[in-house]
Structure 1
């Protein structure tokens, strides 16, 4: 049996676990019990595995680690949104958000500890990127937010969005593996069609997603439909310009037929004019996007931007709709606890 001592037990397949139990003289069915604890019952330690003997739990602890994410702090918004700060096994902090509406219960999860992209309007962009989250740490966020949803609202999660801290496509392997576990029958068994991965725009990975025939939805954080403005607020655009992103999105759609959304935050006096709307219409017609989400800006301490007036916002959305763009205004949730779009930065 080639199982390395003291490795993360969640890196093992069910078959590898079975081999381990047989090798130590235990019944093979024990592997399935442990696998259920790891992926369906949300065990945070071997001590949680109550249908195993104390001796067997000690053997697991002697051979493996279980570096589960734990909840460090929970804040509840006046609108029902719940933000959780999670702690990794070595003490890093990362945030996730439960966003409830009448129709759905959505988990907004993080993919990295901090971020390396330095977008000028996002609180996480002002943080140092410590490391990528491992696939099981991403999975843990979903499990813990699902438990919150069941406790507070009596319903399981209906949707997951990778719109928390970090750039998911710069942690593509772990994000993919987490989604595989989330959607597996012996995992949370959620349809990948209810999962959306949001990216600031990494063209080569968007193309790879198409080639890999991923089954989840894709959202592009656009925020400006010309390169000059996008370069100013999103430095990643200098190496992944709008033309390259449009080509990548077309390739992604051709290979998968999965839904594509544009995310567009309105900044007062920067990207909210009729000319900006006209450029957005033009790009929308070049890409098979299903929807344009116009998002309210949520001010942060480090950024110079502000939110436009309601009148400007409504005119912008109306212009898009009058030009046959499927556009909707997305109102922010959880602003009073810094849980809204662009605000995640581990602030208590």
Structure 2
């Protein structure tokens, strides 16, 4: 027997004004919309039954006409270093992954913005997945709420930072990512500081410039990995469409408009970008605008072409960057034993 399609509307696709207008049209008071909106975005309600200050008849009415397409943490793995990886089941059965990274002073959520990815970075496990679709704002928001709850449960403290460095290219899901950040930072949502949010891009110049025009309060990071165009194309083939010269222009535009520095994420591989010429190219690239550099440990995705560079190569990068007064941080990987580290998210659990 064929199953009937659920025709109920996704209630979180409505704005506050639309919710208020809807209830006025039903002969109710407009404030009813405010109550429901607060349950949805401030309290993260999973169902209409959670909305305890509404009458039973109102909750039944809502359940008959609307649906809350809430995510479900389908599988949770905890690393020996405390990192948690969530396999997040979406309402349509697709899966993405998110990660909670705790340190002594903070808890960071690494969230996904697409199912799969639009780009084709050779060193990233997510790139092997076909991009199925963009995530909706509420699906991104739900990942943050779930990790905040885990942080409070395991570490007795709230989530402090968010990075859009999970599955997908955030600037290829531009509108939904910005809407999710509005809900995460808004007084009518989670109320987190935008200064504690970083959106990471592989480098889409047109969208970087659009982002600058929108003057966001959050931070921008660029996954660079090579400041030599010919080399970057080998590991990030889309770089042919978006060459470093175009990215430089977008970065200048970003800084002119926003006045905020950018973080460059940079992996050093053995035999690929571990020579002095690579370091010198990065130093020159860093002169484009004020910036800082995160040197990231490579995390294996079972591809023999890529191998972590030697300690000497990392030290060379650190020395040369510091010599040129460029802020550099060496980032050690977290969650490697559960494939939760940078570049490893690939739905192995699904």
Q: TM-score range by the shorter chain?
A: over 0.9
Match of 1:17 in 2: 19
Q: CA offset at residue 205 of structure 1?
A: 0.4
Q: Report 1:42-191 matches (<5 A).
A: 42-191=44-193
Aligned partner of 2:230 among 217, 228, 231: 228
Length, aligned pairs only: 343
CA contact (8 A) 1:274 1:319 kept: no
Match of 1:206 in 2: 208
CA distance in 1 between counterparts of 2:286 and 2:14 reads: 44
Could you report, residue by residue, the CA deviation over 1:12-56 in whole angstroms, capped at 9, with x for unpaired residues? 122222222233233433222211110011112222223323321
Comparing 90-99 and 9-18, the one that deviates more:
9-18
CA distance in 2 between counterparts of 1:73 and 1:259 reads: 37
CA contact (8 A) 1:250 1:288 kept: no
Q: CA offset at residue 169 of structure 1?
A: 0.5
CA distance in 2 between counterparts of 1:59 and 1:89 reads: 21
CA distance in 1 between counterparts of 2:94 and 2:50 reads: 23
Could you report, residue by residue, the CA deviation over 1:188-240 in whole angstroms, capped at 9, with x for unpaired residues? 11111111000000000001111111221100000001111000000121011
Match of 2:272 in 1: 270
CA distance in 1 between counterparts of 2:12 and 2:213 reads: 27
CA distance in 2 between counterparts of 1:326 and 1:288 reads: 10
Comparing 296-305 and 223-232, the one that deviates more:
296-305
Q: CA offset at residue 98 of structure 1?
A: 0.7
Is structure 2 residue 10 aligned with structure 1 residue 28?
no
Unaligned runs of 5+ residues in structure 1 are none
Comparing 66-75 and 10-19, the one that deviates more:
10-19
Match of 1:310 in 2: 311
Secondary structure in structure 1 of the residue aligned to 2:159 = coil
Match of 2:345 in 1: 344
CA distance in 1 between counterparts of 2:221 and 2:313 reads: 24
Are the structure 2 counterparts of residues 171 and 303 from structure 1 closer, same or farther at C-alpha, using a change threshold of 3 Å?
A: farther
Comparing 15-24 and 143-152, the one that deviates more:
15-24
Secondary structure in structure 2 of the residue aligned to 1:305 = coil
CA distance in 2 between counterparts of 1:268 and 1:222 reads: 16
State the superposition RMSD in angstroms: 1.3
Q: CA offset at residue 320 of structure 1?
A: 1.6
CA distance in 1 between counterparts of 2:52 and 2:309 reads: 55
Comparing 35-44 and 52-61, the one that deviates more:
52-61
CA distance in 2 between counterparts of 1:229 and 1:42 reads: 45
Q: Report 1:231-310 matches (<5 A).
A: 231-289=233-291, 291-302=292-303, 304-310=305-311
Q: CA offset at residue 310 of structure 1?
A: 1.9
Could you report, residue by residue, the CA deviation over 1:233-292 in whole angstroms, capped at 9, with x for unpaired residues? 001210111111011011011111223100001111101111100100000012222x10
CA contact (8 A) 2:261 2:289 kept: no
Match of 2:4 in 1: none
Where do 4+ consecutive residues of structure 1 move more than 6 Å?
Answer: none
Unaligned runs of 5+ residues in structure 2 are 1-6
CA contact (8 A) 1:9 1:65 kept: yes
TM-score by length of structure 1 reads: 0.95
